[in-house]
Every structure is written in C-alpha cells, then in structure tokens.
Structure 1
C-alpha cells in the first residue's frame, strides 16, 4: 500500500476518482499525440508489454503565458505499480484508489490499492517559455496493442490547462487543441523478462486492422472520462 508524504492520498478527487486517464483502449490508437502536436507530452523508456518503464512528462510552456505551479497526471487503471521520481523543484502528492476486485502482480502479491493520480507541485513556478520534465516509474500492462492515455491538468499562477482531449467523430490528433498524452503498448521484447529491454520512444503508426466500431467505442469512452476528470478537478 502506497501513501503520499502529506497524508493526502485521497483528497484530490476522492476514492471515486474518475478513470479518464485509466481508460485503456482495446484498440491501437491512430496517430497518438507526438511532441509536434502537443505541448504536454509523455515519452516512455520502453513500450513493451509487461515491461518496467520510466515515463517522462514534458511541459513546454505555461497557461496563456502564466507560469506553471502544478502538473497532475491521471494513471490508467491497468497500471497498478507507480513510483514517482523525486525532483528538486517539485513536491510529490499521490492520490490513492481502491482496486476492486483486487488483482495480483507479477510476483503474486495481492494489490488492493493503487496510485490513481500523481501531482507535482512547486513553490517556484516554472516560467512560461521554459521546459521541465517529471518522471514516473511504472510497470506497463501485459496487453500489446493497448492504448494508454494520461489525461493531465496543468495548473498555473493564473488559470489552468486540461490536456485531456482524445480524437473522436473522425477528428485527427493534429486537430486537437489540448490532446491527452499517451502511447501504444507494443509486443514484449523476446528474450527479456516482461519485455524489460529499453525501446526508443514510439509515435504509433495507423493500425489498419482495427475495426471502426471498436475504435469509436473506445475513444468515446475516453472522451467522456476526460471531461469528468476536468470537471472534478475544478470542483476540488
């Protein structure tokens, strides 16, 4: 069981924290956000199914020129192992969520609680026009081809920006103003334990084998969850 240093594990969105970022699409997402099309992005040290990976979330600018004071990342429900990396300029807060029903990890341990969201907060705002990166160590799900979305709320001195949009109704990632960071889980690396070999960051290519019905259903669900995330955060 993991708890945050400030004892505030459940006070960001409550135990019923929305699962917007927890949506793991049952299909390969077409044209997932790349650094060229989004201003808050995620790069994984590996995308191999079951691998232990380091996720780097990059913030490139503020909110309408206002300095950044916090970055809140929602963790997909299929990720039950999360370890935030300490950063000298940011304090870490974790939001916990019950796992119901409980699941077993790769070592047979029973997991009844997981990190549902991680917030990096700073008393020294990141000026607009400057870049910073925060990292999370996770174990990726075992399902190759699954799309992982990490809806992210960027809080600034004045206002906030919700990077929670997902493509739907035929729209492309390039058409989205504030896409949620994400990537696609690839096949396990042969000859490695849980695909632990490091792989280069992936900008997924279109998967022509995906059925249109499955793609639309997955993206609509993610979109509804992302809206719920943004609304609940604003009420917190």
Structure 2
C-alpha cells in the first residue's frame, strides 16, 4: 500500500471515530435534556413569592393521535389576578367567579371577582406531534412553600385528556398517568421588583444551565467533526 493511501485510510478511521463519539454524546445529551413530552406542563418565569410571573403551559401532543381543539386551564384559588396572552390561531375566554370572602391584593384593593379558568380554543386544530405554548400572566401568592396546581383539560377532535391528577398519600407525580401541571412557590427575591416586562426571562435553574452547557459542548464537538470531515475530503481531492 502506498504512503498516501495509508495516510488516507488513517484519516478516514480517525474521522469515523470522532463522528461516532460526537453522535453518541449528542444522543445521550438529547435524552438527558429533553422534557417529558408526554405531559402538559407549566413553566413559570419565576417562582418567587409575591412576584408577577408569566406561566407557559406547553402542549406537545394530541389525545392519542387526535388534534387538539381546546385547552381549559383551571386557576388555583390562591391566584386572584390573571391576564392571558392572545395568540394568532386561538380564541381566549375567561370564566370568572365570586371571591367569598373578598380578598385584598398586594396593592390594597379588595377583590370580589377572580378568573377561575381560561380556555383557549381554535378552528385550526393543533396536529398531534406539534407543540403549542399558552401564556398566563399572574401574581403569585406571598407565602413561600405554597403548592399551586392548574388542572387542565385538553379537548381534541376525538376524545379528551384531563390533566387533573394530584399525588395523594405520598405518591410521586411521576407515578401519575395524567398529572396536573403545577409548581411550588419559593422564597421572595431580594432586591428585585415584582413586575414582569416584555422580554423578561427567568434565570435557568442550575440543572438546566448544566444541560445547556453540555448541549453547547456537543454542538461544538459536532461542528469540529464536520469541519474535520470537510478538511479530509479537501485533502483527498488535492
């Protein structure tokens, strides 16, 4: 075998090893970073007690294979102020109820009516396998440790999924088939104002930040691999 052929064979083997390693790393990271796509979930911009937050409710599947036509989100009694975000393809309806006894908000106003649920409906159904995000701006309760649960009913062209289950008797939420979206209020943020402005984003949790760092590392490895592959092909042509 000629020297050039030996060098080319070694380059090809090195390239295959690098590509295989990068692919394995990316696959493992994808499995680590991907959220539980089988559930309807809620992601708050902040969980700080008393803060104004934007809640993102994510729907990434239909009822079985049936497209989604309506999402109804029940608001827990601890929340008295809700502002839904309008979206292009979805109509928004708020259902109110009387607050008895009346509550007093953080500004000293007496609250006698509150939004009990919000319904998003559409004439352009969301196909199974496509993701949609519904946003609600709310003021969170003042008491840290409060658990907020948002029972959500997903209606489809055929059937519905009631995401309303709450862990009982020490059960873990992962054991539930149709868990209700929810989260727990944390301690108040120090030195910050409890207001949400356009473009405000939450600081990622440590675990999420680590995941993003690993994902960026994987992307860099893949970029290096692709660059190396191009260099190998260029050398073979010359």
TM-score range, shorter chain: 0.5 to 0.7
Shift of residue 174 of structure 1? 1.3
**Considering only aligned residues, what root-mean-square deviation do their CA atoms show, in Å?**
2.2
Task: Give the structure 2 partner of residue 12 of structure 1.
Answer: none
Q: Does 1:82 align with 2:92?
A: no
Q: Does 1:108 align with 2:101?
A: no
Shift of residue 104 of structure 1? 1.5
- Residues in 1 aligned to 2:89 and 2:79: alpha-carbon distance in whole angstroms: 26
TM-score (norm 1): 0.68
Return closer, same or farther for 1:35/1:150 CA change in 2, 3 Å cut-off.
Answer: farther
- Residues in 1 aligned to 2:147 and 2:42: alpha-carbon distance in whole angstroms: 13
Unaligned runs of 5+ in 2: 1-33, 208-238
Say if 1:70 and 1:120, in contact at 8 Å, map to a contact too.
yes
Return closer, same or farther for 1:185/1:195 CA change in 2, 3 Å cut-off.
Answer: farther
Unaligned runs of 5+ in 1: 1-33, 205-236
Task: Give the structure 2 partner of residue 164 of structure 1.
Answer: 164
Secondary structure, aligned partner of 1:193: coil
Structure number, greater radius of gyration: 2
Task: Give the structure 1 partner of residue 51 of structure 2.
Answer: 51
Task: Give the structure 1 partner of residue 128 of structure 2.
Answer: 128
- Residues in 2 aligned to 1:139 and 1:110: alpha-carbon distance in whole angstroms: 15
Shift of residue 98 of structure 1? 0.3
Q: Report Cα offsets for 1:139-191 as digits up to 9, x if no partner.
A: 00001011100000000000100001111133211111110000010100101
Return closer, same or farther for 1:37/1:175 CA change in 2, 3 Å cut-off.
Answer: farther
Say if 2:38 and 2:61, in contact at 8 Å, map to a contact too.
no
Secondary structure, aligned partner of 1:174: helix
Return closer, same or farther for 1:184/1:38 CA change in 2, 3 Å cut-off.
Answer: farther
- Residues in 1 aligned to 2:98 and 2:205: alpha-carbon distance in whole angstroms: 31
Task: Give the structure 1 partner of residue 189 of structure 2.
Answer: 189
Secondary structure, aligned partner of 1:77: coil
